[in-house]
Amino acid sequence: MKLQYHIKMIQQQQYQGFVTFGGAFSNHLAASAAAAEQFGIAATAYVRADSLDQQNPTLQYCMARGMKLIATDRPTYRQRQQPDYLQLLAKRHPDCLIIPEGGSSSAGVRGVASLDLSATPAGPANVVACATASGGTLAGLITAGAQHHKPETIPLTLGLAVVNDSSLSERVSSLLAGSAEKSANWRIVATAPDVRYARCPAEHVDFCCQFALKHNIALEPVYTGRALYKLYQMIAAGDFTAGSRLSFFHTGGLQGLAGLYYRQLINQQQYQLLSAAAVG
Ligand SMILES: Cc1ncc(COP(=O)(O)O)c(C=O)c1O
């Protein structure tokens, strides 16, 4: 979804491949590697890690699809959005499209905006919510809301932030293209301000397990589980008026479960339960 227009750009503008960025367990890297393999495109990723752990299931998945991985220390990785560093990478990888972390570029936003997630079985949604990290998904849903609806029926788009990043709101604003999108009704809410990214506290893991048992739908506790847990808390706190229709975007990320188990952030029983629901 965030990758589709990047792939089109590579094909139409005759790039040889792409370069992108991500953490060692990144869903974006796994998705990029799968897309690269499917479309026969060369892929290189700068991985936020001092060295490449050959046992890491996400990195194994990427390497098996032919992605070239480059371990990148944190100070260097932090430069990933800086123009000087991007210029250096453009020289180092001529003929490659540089895709930002998370695929969150204007092309990524356009891909998400092609989805209209505002229908619920009970009628049009008043609120469309998603897990938010690098901001592209949220910017895409805001854009979709502005494009697919009359001004008076645009739903509130809610970004449930799973990272504690004070620049997120500014980043989302800068990803919004037109004035309709910029003036749209959207908000970012912190999911668990005291919990660092990807820490998986017991309440988030338990919530995912209960959800899998009840609905046979897998979540994972870093993105969708953490975000939906917060949405449920907001509902319980009366943050939405009675009769509101909420749409939550399940953004996947289930490949990350193997990495959580590998790092012992979830136990074997939890891993089995969530993985079984993922394919169930
Ligand atoms: C499963 C999952 N959901 C949601 C997000 C958040 O998307 P964005 O980075 O566009 O805010 C990510 C980002 O990595 C993700 O992996």
Which of 137, 141, 255, 274 should be mutated for ligand 1, with most atoms under 8 A from CB? 137
**Site residues for ligand 1, CB cut-off 6 Å:** 27-28, 102, 104, 131-138, 223-224, 251-253
Ligand 1 centroid distance, CA of 159 (Å)? 10
Q: Which of 26, 200, 208, 223 to mutate to test the pocket of ligand 1 (most atoms within 8 A of CB)?
A: 223
Would you state the pLDDT for residue 257?
A: 98
Looking at residue 158, its amino acid is: L
| pLDDT score, position 14 | 87
**What percentage of the chain has pLDDT greater than the value 90?**
91
For ligand 1, atom 4, which residue shows the shortest CA distance? 131
Binned at pLDDT 50, 70 and 90, residue 59 comes out as very high
Paired tokens of 64: 């098996």
pLDDT in tens, 80-102: 999 999 999 999 999 999 999 99
What is the predicted pLDDT for the residue at 86?
97
The mean per-residue pLDDT over the stretch 247-260 comes to 97
* 157 CA → ligand 1 middle, Å: 15
Looking at residue 186, what is its pLDDT? Answer: 96
pLDDT of residue 268: 98
Higher pLDDT, 35 or 118: 35
**What mean pLDDT do residues 159-181 have?**
90
Digit-coded pLDDT (tens) for 216-235: 999 999 999 999 999 999 99
Q: What is the largest CA-CA distance in the chain?
A: 56
Mean pLDDT value across the chain: 95
CATH topology of domain 4-103: Rossmann fold (3.40.50)
Residue reference for tokens 């001004």: 151
Q: Does the pLDDT value for residue 280 go beyond 60?
A: no
Predicted pLDDT of residue 182: 73
Position 129 pLDDT exceeds 80: yes
Ranges of CATH 3.40.50.1100 domains, the chain: 4-103, 116-279
Check whether 44 has a pLDDT greater than 90.
yes
User: Looking at the domain 116-279, which fold is it?
Assistant: Rossmann fold (3.40.50)
The pick from 27, 81, 106, 186 for probing ligand 1's pocket by mutation, whose C-beta has the most ligand atoms within 8 angstroms, reads 27
What's at 49, amino acid-wise? Answer: A
Contacting residues for 100 by C-beta, under 8 A, at least 6 apart? 20, 21, 80, 81, 108, 134
In degrees, to the nearest 5, what angle opens at C-alpha 66 toward C-alphas 62 and 67? 55
How far apart are the C-alpha atoms of 204 and 199, rounded to whole Å? 10
- Of the pLDDT bands very low, low, confident and very high (cuts 50, 70, 90), residue 278 is confident
pLDDT at position 178 is 75
Whether 155 contacts 145, CB under 8 Å: yes
Categorize the per-residue pLDDT at 149 as very low, low, confident or very high, splitting at 50, 70 and 90.
confident
What's the pLDDT at 279? 66
Instruction: Tell me the torsion sign for CA atoms 99, 223, 199, 36.
Output: negative
Task: Please provide residue 27's backbone torsions phi and psi, each rounded to the nearest 5 degrees.
Answer: -65, -35
